[in-house]
Structure 1
Amino acid sequence: MEQTVHSPVRLTGTIRQLRPSDMPRFREHLLRLDSESRRDRFNGLADDSFISSYVYRSSAAGTTVIGYVEGDKVLGAAELHESPDQSQPTAEIAFSVERHLQHQGLGGKLFERLIEQARGFGYTRLLVTTHPHNAAMRALARRYNAELVFEDGETVGTIHLEPLMPVGVISASSQARNRTLHPA
């Protein structure tokens, strides 16, 4: 598929966890996605009624949504859906960015924040599923060392997360920062 090149856009919004009161804005974001972006996000066709019920189900299931918010609009989102049936603490992830902001690095910023949130919840694995033509999602997943395979017409990936450090264990970066702030 041909990739559209977008002029650089200055990102002036914030990336934050969406509150329950933000769910209508999240729904409006998903409804604004063009047909290709909807197909990339939902791995197939998704009409307006599907999206409305999807947001309701996600909210009821306690899905974590990290959004890129400008003013009162959600323009990008990263979702974390728990998979409680897995043997390890696992969540499935999904991303959506409105067309005019795609290929600006926003997906990577949302991905970083989502991984930080996932680690905070104690997840050790993240799953991603996309159609084989979604090159942007495959590249993003590879950037975070996803093991990608082609299964049943879809690209399926697993990202293994480093566990959180036990309380009282100081990481090397924390030790270095402490030495900088409090030299001997």
Structure 2
Amino acid sequence: MQNTAFHAVPPTGMIRQLRPSDLPLFREHLLRLDAESRRDRFNGFTDDTFVSTYADRCFADGTTVIGYVEDGAVLGAAELHERPEEDIPTGEIAFSVERALQHRGIGRMLFKRLILNALGLGYYRLLVTTHPENEAMKALARKFGAELTFEAGEAVGVIKLDAAMAAPLLQHAQAAAMEQPRL
């Protein structure tokens, strides 16, 4: 049973794009994921070597990585991978939030920021793939308009992007930015 008092505590960190110098923090985040969260993120079993190599590849190939950063640690991440083989500008997205912070709205905040980045980069659609049991990811994708189908044992979703999506997301982002601490 989940501790509802814990989940009621709002996150205190910051959502921001990760810089190349944040690669070690991103890698550490992925390596800290428990077995179920890692399975949810990568759609199957992965060992530490795979995860480390994957993190390095994300920063080497230009993947956009948005992080939830709290106390100098990346505790959640959203990734936007370009799919250049598609006929129209398309990105594939992936999310991970560490177990202790799940169900606190961090995935939703990461999703909003990632959609804004995708719109800014000129993408027309986003693809999301997860295993059929990942109810949290499927629900989150549906909140942002994903049409899910099931193919080869996976849930596959497509989110069609348009400028109308940007206005409410920008308002939310501006309000959140006003709450961020100034250095």
Report the TM-score, using the length of structure 2 for normalisation. 0.86
Q: 1:48 aligns to what?
A: 48
Q: Choose from 2, 14, 25 the match for 1:5.
A: 2
Letter in 2 for 1:71: D
Identity rate of aligned residues, in percent? 66
Match for 2:154: what amino acid?
Answer: E
Paired residue for 2:178?
none
Native 8 Å contact 1:5 1:103 kept in 2: no
Deviating runs (4+, > 6 A) in structure 1? Answer: none
Partners of 1:72 and 1:49 lie apart in 2 by 24
Separation of aligned partners in 2, 1:87 and 1:131: 25
Mark the structure with the bigger radius of gyration. Answer: 1
Normalized against structure 1, the TM-score is what?
0.86
Partner of 2:74: 74
Could you say which structure has the higher helix fraction? 2
How many residues align? The count is 164
The Cα shift of 1:105 comes to 0.9
Matched, 1:134 2:129: no
Give 1:29's aligned amino acid. H
C-alpha distance in structure 1 between counterparts of 2:145 and 2:16, whole Å:
24
Unaligned runs of 5+ in 1: 166-170, 172-184
Does the 8 Å contact 1:122/1:164 carry over to 2? no
Are the counterparts in 2 of residues 124 and 163 from structure 1 also a CA contact under 8 Å?
A: no
Amino acid at match of 1:47: D
Structure 2: stretches of 5+ with no match in the other structure: 168-183
Distance (whole Å) between structure 2 residues aligned to residue 98 and residue 59 of structure 1:
20
Supply the RMSD in Å over aligned alpha carbons.
1.7
Equivalence for 2:171: none
Residue 163 of structure 1: how far off its partner (Å):
4.0
AA aligned to 2:2 is V
